[in-house]
Copies of this chain bind each other. A is one copy, B any other.
Amino acid sequence: MLAEIITVGDELLLGQTIDTNSAWMGEHLALSGIAVDRISTISDAPNALVDALDLALKSVDLVLITGGLGPTLDDRTKQVLSDYFDTPLVQHDGVLANITRWFAHRGLPMLPSNVEQALLPEACEMLPNPLGTAQGMWFGVKGGHQVVVSMPGVPYEMKGIMTDEVIPRLQDRFALPTRYHRTILTQGVGESFMSEHVATWEEGLAARQVSLAYLPAPGQVRVRLSSEGENQEEVVRRVEQEVVAFKALCEHWIVSEREGESVATALTRELISSGKTLALAESCTGGAIASSMTAIPGSSACFLGGVVAYANEVKVDLLGVSKDVIEAHGAVSEEVVKEMAQGVRRRMAADYALATSGVAGPGGGTKEKPVGTVWMALAGPDGVQARVLNFGQSRSRNIEKARLECQAWLLRELREDKR
């Protein structure tokens, strides 16, 4: 099955909004065995949508439209579709009730323009949107052999309708191949190095009907193994077999086997399940590790707190780092980062502590300690260890990579302790 995505809105063409919907839809369609042939972004002008529909219906089976369903004057998608398919706008069962409930739940007054949102083209199937006031629409074309779907442009509303309504209907009504995939997050290895490391195994994958994709993520590599076929059991078995082989080859770098899980979430889960607590002493990462931990709901069960020790006086006064050690070795050193980790671990009575001290850049580099040099320490019940890495020239990447490196380090430590 071949699809085209049409995103509607002047704000997209003017660059006021970045289109994240298309990538999400492309990924989820691909996982259902539907290939996206083209994404067209067009203006709010009615004839732009008519032209785009004419063009798409010449070459694809499925057209997914997002945007232009709001209550304001520039939202014209519904009227254009009603004209395009020559079907009047009528009241659909339950839609007005949905919208009324939506407003009542939020204690907001319902305006006449919202009541109008309850009218939908007669010929469409209504795709309920519990998260907003604009419902989705499904139009069968050529006796249902082709489909045009219209959804709101608000990302979480679109995602809800796609997941709950569109994909199940497509699976139901069309002979889509059975697909199965697993995504594995790794850290500490580049894409090229990993690809070389697993080359022999990777070369045989195609013959075993499994495909491999390296998905980009800063400082990490996400690996997706997928397969499709007729028989569900067979497809699952194929992929799971390769997951076992991949894990044997790359075990040390694997952070999470759960779909979409981040390093911070995997670490939080591991800390909570082992009943351990964490404290942080951050210099060059400047709160980025703390911020990524506390972004996770429930992280207070394992995360006690941290000290962002940017000034040397803060390292001395709040973390108990020795002034002499800073003078002798400099703030970016093995000695200082170890004292930072031990200091915060003691002061917060934590099981583990992570510390960073480095030259994030762009300024501050020296010949001995160039921009990108980051000392990291991990203190735990068995003492303190330190490592140094050089990440590169970009301040934001240095901070991000140091954060991921620290979190993955503790994650590995916790897993090894369990054995």
B-side contacts of A361, CB under 8 Å: 297
* Docked CA distance A12–B19 (Å): 11
Quick one: which of A213-245 are within 8 Å of B by CB? Answer: 213, 215-216
Which of B16, B36, B290, B293 has a CB less than 8 Å from the CB of A290?
B290
List, in ascending order, chain B residues with CB within 8 A of A311's CB: 300, 304-305, 348
**A166–B18 Cα gap in the complex (Å)?**
22
Q: Looking across the interface, which residue of chain B has its beta carbon closest to that of A29?
A: B15
Copies per complex? 2
A38 touches B48 (CB 8 A): yes
Q: A363: which of B286, B297, B362, B399 is its contact (CB, 8 Å)?
A: B297
Among A96-104, A173-181, A197-205, A312-320, the one that faces the other chain is A312-320
The answer for the CA separation of A39 and B294 in the assembled complex, in Å, is 38
Partner of A15, one of B28, B41, B288, B293: B28
Q: Is A152 located at the chain interface by the 8 A CB criterion?
A: no
- Report B-chain residues with C-beta under 8 Å of the C-beta of A120: none
- In the complex, which residues of chain B have a beta carbon less than 8 angstroms from the beta carbon of A318? 305, 307, 318, 347-348
Q: Nearest residue in B to A280 (C-beta to C-beta)?
A: B308
Check B287–A294 contact: CB distance below 8 A: yes
Shortest Cβ distance from residue A113 to the other chain B in the assembled complex, whole angstroms: 14
Whether the pair B17, A30 counts as a contact (CB closer than 8 A) is no
A13 at the interface (CB under 8 A from B): yes
A182 interfacial by beta-carbon distance below 8 Å: no
Interface residues of A in 273-313 (CB under 8 A from B): 280, 282, 285-291, 293-295, 297-300, 303-311, 313
**Could you list 18 A-B pairs, sorted by A, with CB under 8 Å?**
A12-B39, A13-B35, A14-B27, A15-B22, A16-B216, A55-B55, A285-B294, A286-B290, A287-B288, A288-B294, A290-B290, A294-B399, A297-B362, A304-B314, A305-B311, A314-B348, A317-B347, A318-B348
